[in-house]
Amino acid sequence: MSEAAAFAGAGVFVTGASRGLGRTVAESFAAEQARVGIGYRTRRGEAEETLKLVEAVGGTGALLQFDVRDLSAVKHAVEEFERGGSLDVLVNNAGIVSDQFFATLDAGEWNRVVETNLTGTFHCCRAVVPSMMVRKQGSIINVTSIAAIRASPGQANYAAAKAGVVGLTTTLAVELAPSGIRVNAVIPGLFSTGMGTRLDRRIADRYQAAIPLARFGKTGELAAAIKFLASPDASYIVGHCLVVDGGLSL
């Protein structure tokens, strides 16, 4: 089955889709004629740009503004998207960082990062699972981080949250597989957007030297991995955390 046949008309809900990886993922599914829910919190202008890109490649899109930390708001956004058709794929991409060394880490920043990256993922999964269970099908892809499996000084809050997403992924995979719902995750390394662009040049060079492929990843490469896990080609893959890092974790 071709990817075009796999995603034509499918409902794909992407959180954190106003820019970066989320935008690339939304555009990638749209190129296969999917109907894409573009989740965002505050960046309306950037979300509208994502919508233009989605439509330009042949997909249809809907702008959905909500905060993943608010379960009622998440449920409302999911219900709004499902009024236009089924929700077949959820990509949990929304996330934030707030880097501080542990000795000075403020409890408020710990909570904000954990609530967004981990609890937000729970909220989104919780909102989409009921309808997926009724239809006996669906795919959930959680975006975690190499920080979940490799020490990342200054990111205790982020690492703990993303490691929690790994645990959530494997547990949900076992619970939901009998209902026809596949849950998997991707573990990105360093990419040319997001955290990779905020690194000091000297630090970035040091990280790049440690990557066997000797370069940062491209968002399209990560989007391709996500689309694979969501596709029928991965129909026998559940609870897998696919590392996409150019070998950095080896």
For 200, half-sphere exposure in the C-beta direction (CA atoms, 13 angstrom radius) is: 3
Cβ contacts of residue 85 below 8 Å, gap of 6+?
9, 11, 35
Amino acid identity of residue 70, one-letter, is: D
> Which residues sit opposite 89 in a β-bridge?
12, 139
Given the residues 40, 158, 207, 236, the one annotated as active site: 158
Distance CA 125, CA 92 (A): 8
Cβ contacts of residue 30 below 8 Å, gap of 6+?
36, 53, 54, 55, 57, 58, 59, 60, 61
Give the SS3 label for residue 244: strand
Tell me the longest C-alpha to C-alpha distance in the chain.
Answer: 53
40 is catalytic: no
- Report residue 8 as tokens: 């034509």
Distance CA 229, CA 224 (A): 9
| CA separation, residue 233 to residues 7, 40, 97, 225 (Å) | 12, 29, 33, 12
Nearest CA to 154 out of 214, 102, 194 is that of 102
Alpha helices in 86-200 (DSSP H): 107-114, 120-135, 156-176, 195-198
Nearest CA to 25 out of 163, 142, 173, 189 is that of 142
Q: Which residues are catalytic, by number?
A: 158
